[in-house]
Amino acid sequence: MRGLLASLLLSTVGCASRVVHSDDIAFLRIGDKPLSDALYIMRSDGSDYDRVFLDRTLSTLSGLSLSGNRLLINCKEYKNKTYRSFLGLWQNIGGKWEYKELPHPSGWFGSPLLFSSGTRLLSQTIGTDRKSIALDLYDVGSGTVVHSFELTKKIGDSSSNLLWYKLLDVSGDAKEVLLIRYSREDLKANTDLQILNLSSGRLDSVTGAPSGTATALFSPVTKDILILGTKGLQLMPHKGSQPILLLDRAEMRGLSFRGNRGAWCARTNSVFLPLYDGKNKTSDIWCFDIDTRGLRRVAATDKGHYDYLGCAV
């Protein structure tokens, strides 16, 4: 742990050490040079930010989540020609980020999702035989799996039938989880937006959700669902009906989703998304205002990939 703590260098860009605000966003930039991977904790208006560099032996896997003053990262460390995967938890205490490695069972896979309370997380586990997938509800304090949800039966040995899930968001009351089910049948990729009820373990498809969903988010207030897909940005009422088109593909100016997940900030009623500009070949953080339906860039880069974490709550 001491080596990892020593390897985290907090730069003096913006506010070098400060507490997390209620509308902060966080994202990761994957650089193309050693020591260029960096985490950013930024005000939602882009006014100032912290920048945390990662050691060259430490990289990140898909799966980043921010909740309050806790930052969860699915990490991969390369030492002595071998890789080791683990969950790293950064906590902002008194304006400074402190790190600890979470003990966990073998088989962490996919994108862990930190609950708004900061005390529980949900992570995907895929069986060693790649024929079973489960979601593990994990208590951060005790380091134990509280409950495991078995999501699949036998998948089959063929890679063409590989199936996995992408964890997207937890509802404000922490009772439901939004996720995408990926499958491949007859060489055709399929996506299905689903909701997992954490009380009953029931997993249901979102009725009326458009095909080709790239990502989706719960409203922090109403549980309405914002969907980014092939048609653009759409809003689907939680009680179920046809989605309302907020921004079509033409208005998105060729931008496409590129990252882990987005986040919906309740205070400003704005959604933050990592979007890829194919023309300029850049991945940036964009903000969509639900009320005005305006789209603006809040974090830009000339090179590198942005993987988005989420809003602090």
For the segment 294-300, the average pLDDT, to the nearest whole number, is 82
Place of tokens 């907090």: 10
The mean pLDDT value of the chain amounts to: 74
pLDDT at 6 (0 to 100): 26
| pLDDT(51) > 90 | no
Question: Residue 97's pLDDT band (boundaries 50, 70, 90)?
Answer: confident
**Would you say 130 and 162 are in contact if contact means Cβ atoms under 8 Å apart?**
yes
Return d(Cα 29, Cα 287) in angstroms, integer: 17
Return d(Cα 87, Cα 73) in angstroms, integer: 6
**Would you say 215 and 263 are in contact if contact means Cβ atoms under 8 Å apart?**
no
| pLDDT(234) > 90 | yes
Which pTM does this prediction carry? 0.80
**Would you say 230 and 264 are in contact if contact means Cβ atoms under 8 Å apart?**
no
Please write the tens of the pLDDT for every residue from 67-90.
777 777 777 776 787 777 777 777
Question: Residue 207's pLDDT band (boundaries 50, 70, 90)?
Answer: confident
* Helix and strand totals (H; E) in the chain: 1, 26
Question: Residue 288's pLDDT band (boundaries 50, 70, 90)?
Answer: very high
Q: Where are the alpha helices (DSSP H) in the chain?
A: 2-7
| pLDDT(104) > 70 | no
Which residues are 270's β-sheet partners?
265, 289
CA-derived radius of gyration, the chain: 19
pLDDT at 103 (0 to 100): 64
Region 2-311: CATH code: 2.120.10.30
Secondary element (H or E) of residue 183: strand 176-185
At residue 201, the 3 state secondary structure works out as coil
CB atoms within 10 A of CB 60: 18
Q: Where are the domains of the chain?
A: 2-311
| pLDDT(12) > 50 | no
For residues 159 and 300, which has the higher predicted lDDT (pLDDT)?
A: 300
Pairing relationship of beta strands 120-126 and 108-114 according to DSSP bridges? antiparallel
> Could you give the angle at the alpha carbon of 37 between the alpha carbons of 33 and 38, nearest 5°?
145
CB atoms within 10 A of CB 239: 8
**Would you say 5 and 56 are in contact if contact means Cβ atoms under 8 Å apart?**
no
Question: Residue 135's pLDDT band (boundaries 50, 70, 90)?
Answer: confident
Please write the tens of the pLDDT for every residue from 259-283.
778 888 888 888 988 888 888 877 7
